Amino acid sequence: MTEELHDVRLQVNGATHALRVPARRLLSDALRHDCGLTGTHVGCEHGVCGACTVLVDGRPVRSCLMLAVSAVDVDITTVEGLTEPDGSLSPVQQAFVDCHGLQCGFCTPGFLTTIAAGLRETPDPTEDEARDMIAGNLCRCTGYQNIVKSVLRAAEISRGFETGLDGPPQPPEVER
Amino acid sequence: MTTKLFGSKVPRVEDQRFLRGQGRYVDDVLVGQRVLHAAVLRSPHAHARITDIDVADVLDLEGVHLVWTHDDLTGPMAEPLPLLIPHPALVHGRTQYALAPEEVNYVGEAIAFVVAEDRYVAEDAVGRIRVSYEFLEPVVGIPAARAARSRVHDDMPDNVGARLEQENGDARAAIAAAPRTLRLDLTVERSACQPMEGRGTVARWDPDTSRMTVWTSTQTSTGVRGCVAAKLELDLGQVDVITPDVGGGFGVKINHPWPEELLVPLAARTLGVPVKFTEDRREHFISSAHERGQEHRVEVGYDDDGRVLGLNVEFWHDHGAYTPYGLIVPIITSTQLLGPYKPANYRVVFESLYTNTVIVTPYRGAGRPQGCFVMERTMDAIAAALGKDRTEVRAANFIQPDEFPYDQGLIFQDGRELEYDSGDYPASLEKLKQLVGWDEFPAFRAEMAAEGRRVGIGLACYVEGTGVGPYEGAHVHVETSGKVKVATGLTTQGQGHQTAFAQIVADALGVAFEKVEVVTGDTRRMPYAVGTFASRAAVMSGSAIHLAALRTREKALRIAAEALEADESDLEIADGVVRVKGTESQIDLGTIAVLSNPLRYAFDEASKAATQFSVGSPGKPPVAEDDEPGLEGKDFYSPERSTFASGMHAVIVETDPETAEITILKYAVVHDCGHLINPMIVEGQIHGGVAQGVGGALYERMVYDEAGQLLNASFMDFLMPFVTEVPTSIDIDHLETPSPLNPLGIKGAGEAGVIPSAAVFAAAIEDAEAPHQPGLTIVAMPISPSELFHLRQQHESDPEESA
């Protein structure tokens, strides 16, 4: 028995990936193992935990619930694509540093993509709105306290960024 | 400590790679290279004899490389997995095989192992394996295990794996003589760690060098290394185990070797191709470990002030189908149950029982949440019986600050005395009362009652033995570039060790934080280590790293003194430069590193300074007899016994009069882990612990049916807290009573947040109900709104029975 393979072109973070995959290959597996973008993590493979969240045409989608063959003709953004073109951290990423919004880092990519999209819709969230924004993602380390703070901080950084008050977030002090 | 990095909220260096999607977790290893993927056939039955396994169809499937059952394993691989922590009381210890030979004892036990081109094909292949079973009666739950109508292991007389008793004084006589007595039956259900990343292992065999490299998501690289070498009959020196980034552990990854941690390396060597196994979530539910399930019976004798004169606790611990981790969890319950108190007489006895369910190994808190639940429910019951304030009864039983070191007269989980090193429990209680508003609560309750709302307050205290031995080590190496490479052998799963340990080195050595790079869990860099459990990393590796950095500093000063022609006592190190105090004379650590290694051959401009016509004195060997080349320091830290952290939590909850919905209004934590290396990281640990505690108290439980099927093996059905379930804020106050047992005065902090949760929520919910349902007691956790609702109904119909 040979599995039928399909030619798929995925647009991920502005680059095109030409893949040959079986119809059943999950988008999460295609991104990780075929495109080599291992920043997207798989925590449950049944669409609950949100660790695998990527942006599909700007909207958060669980990549473990989408097939790679159905992800054509869309723009996909993974955590790797959130970093600014100059290599500095985006406001959401920087906010997680500022607020200690992560510990083991496994759920983090799903939070970052979810919040990046959420802040586009609600750029100035209240604390309750910040909670709503992340209410579909599981984290086992942080107790969410500092993730809520990170959402508010990201909004603050973005506002400073847009109005030019604070300038862009500073590049990291410690490079490894 | 007066230096500047120890104690400060230094942002984490590991965040940079995690936030950019550049973390390296085990499933990320070898992506883009040729690697085969494994899948495991797991028992669908809780208790059955395997009569036949038919794998005939499997290799016909395109892309399948290998299928193994127990018959294919030989030598040590065909024998049971190791019993990691033997104990004289564990007279009937049993461990599973890498692949079950004849009998399966829980749903999820590994039966066959397949390697294929990818995981999809490997799972197709697993689906083609046909197993015939003869069904046996499953033993599920503590009552069934005790009744022993059927047995998990038929070579045993019953289901009791171990019975252990400890006593300090004569508890039963003291209770018999006490003016007042109480009895309580208390239950805690099963839960599990559920790190967001499950287990995973990758192995590569290099035939050119006869070496095995294993990457595994573990809490002990050295433990796995030892097992892989023993089981695959390799020399230890042929096996390297690397723990990459780990997506959470919480205890489950300290158990080892999991079957896949041996089968994957064996397959990689057999096939000559790297092999990867990545556990999925359902597998994690049914084949990784659980914890917490215990039933307890308490008898207590006390006086009119609430002082405990005698405490007698019997409990039954459900350890699942096998006992790879020995008796650690029930031993911890039996000893740490005492918390900050000093009952005059204490007896504890437990039975550790076999059931046809997933194995039990430590989950964050490791038996302490149950012990704390038992002790704190007892304290609340005494207060209720005497009509006293709950804080007064606790204060009457506290060990006092001038009584340390305090020997509880028992043997702890490490085989050492249960002797508390330091603490100040009255001060903690005072801080907690302030933080939560204990004395103001009656007014708040009255205000809420006027609106028809029910609110209650509870508190719970704990002591946690942290930093258990035997030891950890560290190696510090200053390179000629001035960069400082630090290695310690225990692993990291989110605690920010690269940051906290670099803070310690920067202070002790006198270098910039940015110059320090810490590696954990890599046996190539530090082959002597134990692991990350029991809130021990900061205490054990933190101390070892501090000592190793001091050794490095000593050596740097010695070499610098010679180079600068100065007395060592006139030197100081700051920012990686050694100076003669009050002069311009200086030398940087990179240059000292060059000088520390006499060379024949220069490899760059700087190293010319160390060649044979540049350094050395005639008549002296280039490397002194008691010295060695290189600017390095190595040391180990091995304390006599554990150091005891402590804390107290309080919570205010609201219970809905109609629906019994439970809402958290305020959560307060007072925490004493001695000196804090990085308060930001410690508070993060507390937040996470509290959230897991909320899960354990109000939501999470493993639901087994009578056939031994786990009914809620998914994140849809096992209710882990989202942000909507945790307190909107957690108020934290610290007390710092340093440990006298280590050079930095630190105590562990990792597990503490989860310990008092079941106790504190039970107390607060009971308190909220008290004015409306006098005498209603909460004796089993977790508790859901439905359960509280039914408890109310039951109590109304029969107040005696439900009390």
Query: What one-character-per-residue DSSP string does B718-754 give?
Result: S----GGGS-S--EEEE-----TTSTT-B---SSGGG
Within-domain flag for B351: no
Same domain, yes or no, for B102 and B248?
yes
ipTM value for the complex: 0.95
Within-domain flag for B298: no
Structure tokens at B339: 């918390």
Same domain, yes or no, for B543 and B421?
no
CA distances B311 to B146, B168, B169, B179, B347, Å, are 23, 10, 10, 14, 6
With cut-offs at 50, 70 and 90, classify the pLDDT of residue B3: low
Beta bridge partners of B80: B97
Domain with B249, as residue range(s), is 15-136+193-287
| Side-by-side strand order, sheet with B780-781 | B160-168, B346-353, B308-318, B294-302, B180-188, B780-781
B23 to chain A: which residues are within 8 Å by CB? 39, 105-106
Number of domains in chain B: 3
Name the domain boundary from A56, A80, A104. Answer: A80
Q: How far apart are CA A122 and CA A152, in angstroms?
A: 11
Q: How far apart are CA B657 and CA B454, in angstroms?
A: 7
Same domain, yes or no, for B247 and B120?
yes
Here the CATH number for the domain that contains residue B701 is 3.30.365.10
Give Cα B292 distance to the centre of its chain: 13
Name the domain boundary from A35, A54, A80. Answer: A80
**pLDDT, average across residues A29-47:** 97
Same domain, yes or no, for B677 and B788?
yes
| Residue A174, pLDDT score | 40
What does the buried/exposed string (b/e) look like for A32-62 if buried means 16 or more CB atoms within 10 Å of the residue's CB?
bbbbebbbbbbbbbebbbbbbbbbbeeebbb
Within-domain flag for A173: no
Query: Residue B275 belongs to what H/E stretch?
Result: strand B275-278
Same domain, yes or no, for A71 and A101?
no
Does A33 contact B at CB distance below 8 Å? yes
Same domain, yes or no, for A19 and A75?
yes
Q: How far apart are CA B754 and CA B645, in angstroms?
A: 14
Same domain, yes or no, for A72 and A122?
no
**pLDDT, average across residues A54-74:** 97
Same domain, yes or no, for A106 and A72?
no
Within-domain flag for B297: no
Biggest CA–CA distance in chain A, Å, is 62
| Residue B545, pLDDT score | 98
Q: Minimum mean pLDDT among B293-302, B596-605, B663-672: which range?
A: B596-605
Same domain, yes or no, for B657 and B631?
no
**pLDDT, average across residues B624-644:** 94
Same domain, yes or no, for A73 and A114?
no
Q: Are B231 and B257 in contact (CB under 8 A)?
A: yes
Nearest to A103 among B16, B31, B494 (CB): B494
Q: How far apart are CA B569 and CA B584, in angstroms?
A: 16
| Residue A163, pLDDT score | 53
Structure tokens at B666: 């305020």
Is residue A98's pLDDT more than 50?
yes
Nearest to A97 among B19, B61, B280 (CB): B19
Residue B203, CB half-sphere, CA atoms under 13 Å: how many? 31
Within-domain flag for A169: no
Structure tokens at B116: 């294929």
Is residue B562's pLDDT more than 80?
yes
Q: Are A5 and A20 in contact (CB under 8 A)?
A: yes
With cut-offs at 50, 70 and 90, classify the pLDDT of residue B801: low
Query: Residue B368 belongs to what H/E stretch?
Result: helix B368-386
The 8-class DSSP code of residue B704 comes to B
Is residue A106's pLDDT more than 90?
yes
Nearest Cα neighbor of A23 from A85, A93, A70, A87 is A70
Match 């639940």 to its residue by tokens. Answer: B373
| Residue A162, pLDDT score | 58
Same domain, yes or no, for A74 and A110?
no
Give the distance from residue B284's alpha carbon to the nearest chain A alpha carbon, in angstroms. Answer: 10
The segment with the largest mean pLDDT, out of A39-53, B591-605, B789-803, is: A39-53
A70-91 residue pLDDT tens: 999 999 999 999 999 999 999 9
A36 to chain B: which residues are within 8 Å by CB? 31-32
User: Mapping DSSP to helix (H, G, I), strand (E, B) and coil, where does residue B198 land?
Assistant: coil
B229-255 residue pLDDT tens: 999 999 999 999 999 999 999 999 999
Beta bridge partners of B166: B348
Is residue A168's pLDDT more than 60?
no
Here the CATH number for the domain that contains residue A44 is 3.10.20.30
Same domain, yes or no, for A24 and A73?
yes
Give the distance from residue A31's alpha carbon to the nearest chain B alpha carbon, in angstroms. Answer: 11
Number of domains in chain A: 2
Structure tokens at A121: 């819709």
| Residue A175, pLDDT score | 36
User: Mapping DSSP to helix (H, G, I), strand (E, B) and coil, where does residue B780 land?
Assistant: strand
Within-domain flag for B577: yes
Name the domain boundary from B593, B612, B637. Answer: B637
Same domain, yes or no, for B82 and B220?
yes
| Residue B615, pLDDT score | 81
Within-domain flag for A85: no
Give the distance from residue B471's alpha carbon to the nearest chain A alpha carbon, in angstroms. Answer: 24
Within-domain flag for B482: yes
Is residue B86's pLDDT more than 70?
yes
Within-domain flag for B160: no
| Residue A169, pLDDT score | 44
Q: Any residues with CB less than 8 A from the CB of B728 and at least 6 apart, and which?
A: A127, A131
Same domain, yes or no, for B98 and B111?
yes
Q: Are B471 and B539 in contact (CB under 8 A)?
A: no
Same domain, yes or no, for A16 and A36?
yes
Same domain, yes or no, for B26 and B121?
yes
Other CB atoms within a 10 A radius of the CB of residue B701 amount to 20
Query: Residue B297 belongs to what H/E stretch?
Result: strand B294-302
Within-domain flag for A86: no
Structure tokens at B586: 């200086």
Q: How far apart are CA B98 and CA B95, in angstroms?
A: 10
With cut-offs at 50, 70 and 90, classify the pLDDT of residue B1: very low
| Residue A176, pLDDT score | 35
Q: How far apart are CA B623 and CA B559, in angstroms?
A: 12
Instruction: Give the pTM.
Output: 0.96
Q: How far apart are CA B109 and CA B125, in angstroms?
A: 18
CA distances B551 to B127, B567, B627, Å, are 58, 18, 12
First to last CA, chain A: 47
Give the distance from residue A91's alpha carbon to the nearest chain B alpha carbon, in angstroms. Answer: 11
Same domain, yes or no, for B631 and B695?
no
Same domain, yes or no, for B456 and B492?
no
B475-525 residue pLDDT tens: 999 999 999 999 999 999 999 999 999 999 999 999 999 999 999 999 999
B193 to chain A: which residues are within 8 Å by CB? 140
Name the domain boundary from B228, B257, B287. Answer: B287
Domain with A61, as residue range(s), is 5-80
Name the domain boundary from B579, B614, B637. Answer: B637
Same domain, yes or no, for A72 and A103?
no
Same domain, yes or no, for A37 and A74?
yes
Does A21 contact B at CB distance below 8 Å? no
The size of chain B, in residues, is 803
Same domain, yes or no, for B690 and B740?
yes
Here the CATH number for the domain that contains residue B53 is 3.90.1170.50
Name the domain boundary from A80, A109, A141. Answer: A80
Same domain, yes or no, for A159 and A96?
yes
Within-domain flag for A158: yes
Q: How far apart are CA B663 and CA B788, in angstroms?
A: 13
**pLDDT, average across residues B715-733:** 97
Same domain, yes or no, for B590 and B733?
no
Here the CATH number for the domain that contains residue A118 is 1.10.150.120
